[in-house]
Amino acid sequence: MRPLPRSLRGLTVVFLALFLTVTALAGFGTFFATASMVRVLVDERIESESETLVPKGTTPDRGELSRHIVEMARQRDTGDLGVLLSDAQGNPIVGNVRLNRELPLGYSSLGRDDRIEGLSAGRVWVREIGGGMRLAVFAETEPVDNYFAMRRRIYFAGFGAIVLVVLAGLLAFRRLVGKRIDAVRQTAESIIEGDLAQRVPMPGDGGEFDQQAGAFNRMLDRIGQLMGEIRNVSNDISHEMRTPLARLRNELALLEQSAAAEPVRERVAMARMQADELLGMFSAMLRIAEIEDGSRRAGFRPLDMGELVAEIVEMVQPVAQERGQRVLMERADEAKLVGDRQLLSQLLVNMLENAVRHTPSGTRIRVSVAREAEAVMLVVTDDGPGIPASQREHVMRRFGRVERAGQAGGQGGGHGLGLPLMEAIVRLHRGALALEDAGPGLRIVARLPV
Amino acid sequence: MERNFTGHVRMSLQILLVEDDSHLRRQLTEQLGHFEHEVQPAGDGQEALSLLGRRPFDAVVLDWMLPTMDGVTLLREMRGQGMTMPVLMLTALGQTLDKVEGLEAGADDYVVKPVDPLELNARLNALVRARRTTEQPSDTIAAGDIVISPSRLMVWRGGQPLALSQTEFRLLLALARDAGEVVTRPMLIERIWGQDFETTTNIVDAHIRQLRVKLLQHGDDPIATVRGMGYVLRA
């Protein structure tokens, strides 16, 4: 069993339950303690008055006692008391009170039901005083009529007000805390979604929440700064490596063209192509960095994806045909969106080349562009070997390639940056890229919001 | 099917090279010199402007990132003074917006650094050639026994009409515009599809093979492959 709930809602409920219980107990406790104290005092008084009338151990004379009783009722300090002398059968002899029931011996309470004029609550002490007589002495327990009911109302109003104030305060507090926590959570989620510029809104009052939001935002700034530094380092490396690599590549290319290279031309060509591949890898890294930086959004223009897809399919078709594959245009809705034409062409080229390069001869590659309510769905499906679910996340990472039994790493080409580049392009357009199982084969889905 | 590129260059161009990085300036001067061009190096925009005022150039290779006067300012100044020679700009990778700005400011072409001298040479030749041919516009373009009518989307080889797909037509036209010169793969991609992309398969080569099949129906193969560079259509 958990000792305490950890959620804000659970804590609120537990606190409220405890608070209500304690308040109710305190209210009832005070109420009944006061009532019982009044009762004890009244009991002491009626006992003492009764004993003044008939001292203990004496048997009074009936006539004299009657006279005393009448007299007592006239006196100022005892005028509020009721006295009743009755015989053994309960028939009244003398007194200023009439009763509709027989009273038990000893102390008991009186209420409105006893229909005693001017008494809504009271106490009575009944004792046998010898000679077959009973003496009952009454007193009110309320200083004014309906005092009990009034007191009850005061208690309800007072404690009720406390409960209301605390409840309202608690709910307001809960809302406030909940709202702040929500703001932090929403910021965190936007960042997970890729919007790294999101920050927690600051109330600006210098309070704890303000300080916490500030600290959280400074932490995000710092993380952003560190990420930027790492990216800068890898971009710097790419830039720095490209220049000498390009010089090497250019030397090889010039050598390849020269007549003197005739005996080793094949091998020079091989070396030049390897240098090209390396340059391509660095270019892809820098390209991804440029896309991720988001500045290309400034150049977005309206375009029709359906048209673009048809063009790229025609472009890739001959390569597929030479490899014994077929590219089928399955659906090409008119799909207007605002984007970067060159990058979206690159995305389509990559999606199709990816399918062409990683599937065997005889594969059917199906392409579709579907216009949905809020997005254009770009889907390339092949019936090739696919990518196991366990590896899909891995291949989306930079330099993540599919590992297949019996296939040496790196074979099948590619620098492992194709999918990250595609994802960067899709994300620039605020969309999402997903790899799915086409059973058999792979399905790449790019969802581009319109 | 492949022929070796002979390396001989018909055009010897007067080129102004504006590049602030002395190492790259020296390297490009030397490499363009291999193609028998005469290269005049300049280290900044002011020097470039004074050189331009003194003698004519066939083309300008302009680094976009220059100290004191940047590429776009220099280019606007040149165009403002009525200089119409082709300008090829050098941009850093990942500076797409610079590229767009440059083309809008009147640059004719661009090459992304690090510069491949063969690519740079091919593009410079193509730019100068395009300037010279537009001075005498004609409806058809001829290369050897191939005649192309861009306005009518028709092609003939030895008088026989050829049925080409749209892409094949654009490919042949792209080669014919610089017949006798190497047209590189990136240039072909730009000319056929109107933009550049990176490809990881031999997309251009596959289209060339399709085109060759159709051309071979009416003669020998007029397209030579230049290894590591691109293709030449026999003039």
Rounded to whole angstroms, the Cα distance separating B195 from B202 reads: 17
pLDDT at A409: 40
pLDDT at B8: 41
Q: How confident is the model at residue A410 (pLDDT cuts 50, 70, 90)?
A: very low
Both B24 and B105 in one domain: the answer is yes
Interface test with B, best of A234, A252, A257 (most B CBs within 10 A): A257
- Chain A residues with beta carbon closer than 8 angstroms to that of B229: 253, 257
pLDDT reading at B10 higher than 60: no
Sheet architecture: strand order including B230-233? B182-184, B230-233, B223-226
Partner B contacted by A123 (CB < 8 A): no
A 10 A CB-CB count for A116 gives 20
Q: How many residues does chain B have?
A: 235
Percent of chain B with pLDDT over 90: 51
Rounded to whole angstroms, the Cα distance separating A325 from A16 reads: 70
Residue of A97 and A446 predicted with greater confidence: A446
pLDDT reading at A335 higher than 60: yes
Residue B191 belongs to a domain = yes
A329 backbone dihedrals φ, ψ, rounded to 5°:
-85, 105
Largest distance between two CA atoms of chain A? 158
Both B118 and B209 in one domain: the answer is no
E-state strands within A90-185: 92-95, 106-111, 121-128, 133-140
pLDDT at B170: 94
Cis peptide before B114 (omega within 30 of 0): yes
Q: How confident is the model at residue B87 (pLDDT cuts 50, 70, 90)?
A: very high
Least confident of B3-7, B65-69, B118-122, B196-200: B3-7
Both B108 and B174 in one domain: the answer is no
Residue B60 belongs to a domain = yes
Interchain pair B200, A414: CB under 8 A: yes
Interchain pair B96, A290: CB under 8 A: yes
Interface test with B, best of A250, A347, A419 (most B CBs within 10 A): A250
Residue B190 belongs to a domain = yes
Are A136 and A125 in contact by the 8 Å Cβ rule? The answer is: yes
Shortest Cα distance, chain A CAs vs residue B144, angstroms: 25
- Chain A residues with beta carbon closer than 8 angstroms to that of B185: none
Q: Single out the residue in B102, B119, B134 at which a domain terminates.
A: B134
Q: Residue A287 is nearest to which of B34, B93, B100, comparing CB atoms?
A: B93
Residue B122 belongs to a domain = yes
Both B106 and B213 in one domain: the answer is no
Count, in order, helices (H) and strands (E) of chain B: 8, 12
Both B37 and B123 in one domain: the answer is yes
10 Å CB burial of residue A74 (0-12, 13-18, 19+) is: exposed
Whichever domain contains B91, its CATH number is 3.40.50.2300
Q: Which residue does chain A place closest to B165, by CA atoms? A: A314
Q: Residue A287 is nearest to which of B5, B94, B165, comparing CB atoms?
A: B94
Both B211 and B175 in one domain: the answer is yes
Residue B86 belongs to a domain = yes
pLDDT reading at B69 higher than 60: yes
Interchain pair B228, A321: CB under 8 A: no
pLDDT reading at A94 higher than 60: yes
Q: How confident is the model at residue A375 (pLDDT cuts 50, 70, 90)?
A: very high
Are A132 and A116 in contact by the 8 Å Cβ rule? The answer is: no
Q: For chain A, positions 234-273, list CB contacts with chain B under 8 A.
A: 242-243, 245-247, 249-250, 253-254, 256-259, 265, 269, 272-273
- Contacts of A16-20 with CB under 8 Å at 24 or more apart are A16/A167, A16/A170, A19/A163, A19/A166, A20/A163
Both B64 and B107 in one domain: the answer is yes
- DSSP 3-state percent helix, strand, coil across chain B (nearest 5): 40, 20, 40
Q: Residue A346 is nearest to which of B97, B197, B209, comparing CB atoms?
A: B197
Interchain pair B195, A345: CB under 8 A: yes
Q: What are the beta bridge partners of residue A379? A: A368, A445
Both B31 and B46 in one domain: the answer is yes
SS3 A303: strand
For A447, the token pair is 């969802």
- Chain A residues with beta carbon closer than 8 angstroms to that of B36: none
For B78, the token pair is 């040149």
Interchain pair B206, A273: CB under 8 A: no
- Chain B residues with beta carbon closer than 8 angstroms to that of A349: 197-199, 203
pLDDT at B235: 84
B62 backbone dihedrals φ, ψ, rounded to 5°:
-125, 115
Residue B7 belongs to a domain = no
Whichever domain contains B229, its CATH number is 1.10.10.10
Question: Domain span at residue B195?
Answer: 141-233
pLDDT reading at A365 higher than 90: yes
Both B202 and B187 in one domain: the answer is yes
Q: For chain A, positions 333-392, list CB contacts with chain B under 8 A.
A: 341-342, 345-346, 349-350, 353, 356-357
Both B130 and B207 in one domain: the answer is no
Q: Residue A318 is nearest to which of B34, B207, B229, comparing CB atoms?
A: B207
pLDDT at A404: 61
Rounded to whole angstroms, the Cα distance separating A48 from A70 reads: 18
Q: Which residue does chain A place closest to B95, by CA atoms? A: A290
Interchain pair B116, A254: CB under 8 A: no
10 Å CB burial of residue A300 (0-12, 13-18, 19+) is: middle
Percent of chain B with pLDDT over 70: 92
Rounded to whole angstroms, the Cα distance separating B14 from B39 reads: 6
Shortest Cα distance, chain B CAs vs residue A360, angstroms: 14
Q: Which residues contact A127 (CB under 8 A, 6 or more apart)?
A: A50, A105, A106, A134, A135
Shortest Cα distance, chain A CAs vs residue B198, angstroms: 7
10 Å CB burial of residue A71 (0-12, 13-18, 19+) is: exposed
Rounded to whole angstroms, the Cα distance separating B118 from B34 reads: 10
pLDDT at B50: 92
Q: Residue A254 is nearest to which of B34, B96, B165, comparing CB atoms?
A: B34
Q: For chain B, positions 160-179, list CB contacts with chain A under 8 A.
A: 165-167
Shortest Cα distance, chain B CAs vs residue A304, angstroms: 15
What value does the mean pLDDT take over residues A288-299? 84
Residue B8 belongs to a domain = no
- Chain B residues with beta carbon closer than 8 angstroms to that of A286: 93-94
Partner B contacted by A321 (CB < 8 A): yes
pLDDT reading at A231 higher than 60: yes
Rounded to whole angstroms, the Cα distance separating B166 from A310 reads: 13
Nearest-CA neighbor of B118 among B2, B232, B3?
A: B232
Q: Single out the residue in B134, B166, B187 at which a domain terminates.
A: B134
pLDDT reading at A147 higher than 80: no
Both B146 and B184 in one domain: the answer is yes
What value does the mean pLDDT take over residues B190-199? 86
Q: Residues B162-186, buried b or exposed e (16+ Cβ, 10 A)? A: bebeebbbbbbbbbbbbbebbbbbb
- Chain A residues with beta carbon closer than 8 angstroms to that of B209: 318, 322
Give how many domains chain B has, as a whole number: 2
Partner A contacted by B36 (CB < 8 A): no
ipTM of the assembly?
Answer: 0.83
Least confident of A61-65, A268-272, A322-326: A61-65
pLDDT reading at A242 higher than 90: no
What value does the mean pLDDT take over residues B22-29? 88
Both B97 and B147 in one domain: the answer is no
Residue B1 belongs to a domain = no
Are A275 and A245 in contact by the 8 Å Cβ rule? The answer is: yes
DSSP string, A79-92: TT-EEEEEETTS-E
Kindly calculate the radius of gyration of chain B based on its CA atoms and give it in whole angstroms: 19
What value does the mean pLDDT take over residues B26-48? 91
- Chain A residues with beta carbon closer than 8 angstroms to that of B193: 311, 315, 345
Q: How confident is the model at residue B1 (pLDDT cuts 50, 70, 90)?
A: very low
Q: Which residue does chain A place closest to B97, by CA atoms? A: A296
Rounded to whole angstroms, the Cα distance separating A106 from A43 reads: 10
Interface test with A, best of B2, B27, B93 (most A CBs within 10 A): B93
Q: Single out the residue in B134, B153, B174 at which a domain terminates.
A: B134
pLDDT at A412: 44
pLDDT at A411: 39
What value does the mean pLDDT take over residues A13-30? 88
